[in-house]
Amino acid sequence: MAQLMKPKHPLLQKSLIQLESLPNLQVEVKAMPFISKSLLADGQLVLQGSSHPVEYICEIKPEVSTEDIDFIVDYFHQFSKKLDAQQKPLLITQNLSEPIINRLLDLEINFIDVNGNTYLNSPGIYILVRRNPQHIPNDGLTNASIKLMYTLLKRPELLTTSEFDVDLQEATQIPLDSVIQNLHKLCQLDYLRFRNGKFEITDYLKLLERWELGYIENLRPNLFVERYTPVKDQSLVEFSETLKLHAEVYGYLIGGEMGAGFATGHLRSPNVTLHIPENNYSVFLKLKLKPDQQGEITLFNQFGRLNGWDEKLPFLVDPLLIHAELHRSNSDRVKEAAQQLFEQYIVPRMIDAGA
């Protein structure tokens, strides 16, 4: 079926490509955006399989993570109440992880992501497509392993010290026996090798990719505290300078899109991740923030002793963490900042590590 209009949003464009690739399904774009007396949504689609057409009202959420899935579920519950009886809600998003897909299926929330993971369950249409996403390998690595991998990526020279095990324990704050066990585990998985009496990184990029996957899917959700928004209205410049000014005093580190902006000078965004000393929740009081499930400020607990960028930019988290936080964005500007961060700050470490 010919589309009446071409959507401008890239996520919607990519999702439509996935829908149109499905057999025996006709896709028609009716409205972009969709406006009714009770609702403003991102779009209206009519899908028709072998039976009668079904009208879907689309809502785009660029990223659905374990941190905000509860909010998304509640949002779509309220969203559904505003639709007519013949209309069905449809979540359109970027990359859904396996746990999130399972949660959405359990709650029967219709969705499609840019990888083609699709669930449509309405009278006249039933489609379930599960692609092969970037699975976390079943390799036995734990959050302690992820903390150690981060430390090795940030400070690979710690493997060369005379008391490397003690130094790594101090940096990671995981038990000493866990440090040793995980070093050997990383050797078994070919991320490290043991040669001439010392551990070495075999492939820095391979280690980085596995660390980023483990950090985003496993460790980071465990460090999540809450989302906030400022109580007082401020301009973006004022707000960013306020955060920068008080970082050392209050002990937090700036990451996310705002952190990337400070690091590269090529990204201005109110979205910021603050990494706080573990369980130091007084930060949000000092900064005059209020809880907000849609807030642009996300707080995470720090882990270990090496989260900061050291003397270069002491108010920011390490570029490894910022890059991981930007990794799954669908914004071209954010992707460009992530690439610049990678080339300017991470590649030199890779070269220095000689792996």
Dihedrals phi, psi of 174, to nearest 5 degrees: -110, 160
Within a domain: residue 58?
Answer: yes
CATH number of domain containing 170: 1.10.10.10
Please give the pLDDT value at position 190. 95
Q: Indicate if 184 and 294 belong to the same structural domain.
A: no
* 134 in any annotated domain: no
206 and 330, same structural domain? no
pLDDT by 10s per residue, the chain, length 355: 444 466 667 778 888 888 888 877 888 888 888 998 888 998 899 998 767 889 999 998 877 877 778 888 999 999 999 999 889 999 998 878 888 998 999 899 999 998 889 999 887 788 888 876 555 677 889 999 999 999 999 999 999 999 999 999 999 999 999 999 999 999 999 999 999 999 999 999 889 989 998 998 889 988 998 889 888 887 878 888 999 999 999 999 999 999 999 999 888 887 889 999 987 878 888 888 998 877 889 999 999 999 999 888 999 999 999 999 987 676 778 878 888 898 899 989 988 887 6
Among 107, 129, 151, the domain-final residue is: 129
Is residue 322 in some structural domain?
A: yes
303 lies in a domain?
Answer: yes
| φ, ψ for residue 318, nearest 5 deg | -60, 150
The pLDDT value recorded for residue 127 is 87
Do residues 196 and 263 share a domain?
Answer: no
Whether residue 279 sits in one domain with residue 238: yes
**CA–CA gap between residue 184 and residue 169 (Å, rounded):** 15
Where residue 54 sits, what CATH number does that domain have?
3.40.1350
Across 6-151, the runs of DSSP E, i.e. the strands, are 26-31, 34-35, 40-41, 43-48, 54-61, 87-93, 111-113, 118-122, 125-129
Residue range(s) defining the domain that contains residue 164: 143-211
- Among 211, 235, 269, where does a domain finish? 211
Token pair 């960013």 is found at 240
The total number of structural domains in the chain stands at 3
166 & 193 share domain: yes
Q: Are residues 252 and 314 in the same domain?
A: yes
Q: Is residue 329 a part of any domain in this protein?
A: yes
Looking at the structure, do residues 229 and 338 belong to the same domain, yes or no? yes
Angstrom distance (rounded) from CA 6 to CA 14:
11
Last residue of a domain, one of 169, 195, 211: 211
| String of DSSP letters for 115-173 | T--EEEEETTEEEEE-----PPP-S---HHHHHHHHHHHH-GGGGGSTTHHHHHHHHH-
pTM value is: 0.68
Q: Which pLDDT does position 3 carry in this prediction?
A: 44
Q: Evaluate whether residue 2 is within a structural domain.
A: no
22 and 123 inside one domain: yes
Q: Is residue 4 part of a domain?
A: no
Is residue 294 located within the same domain as residue 331? yes
Say if residue 232 is in the same domain as residue 274: yes
Residues 232 and 344 in one domain: yes
Indicate if 197 and 323 belong to the same structural domain.
no
Does residue 242 form part of some domain? yes
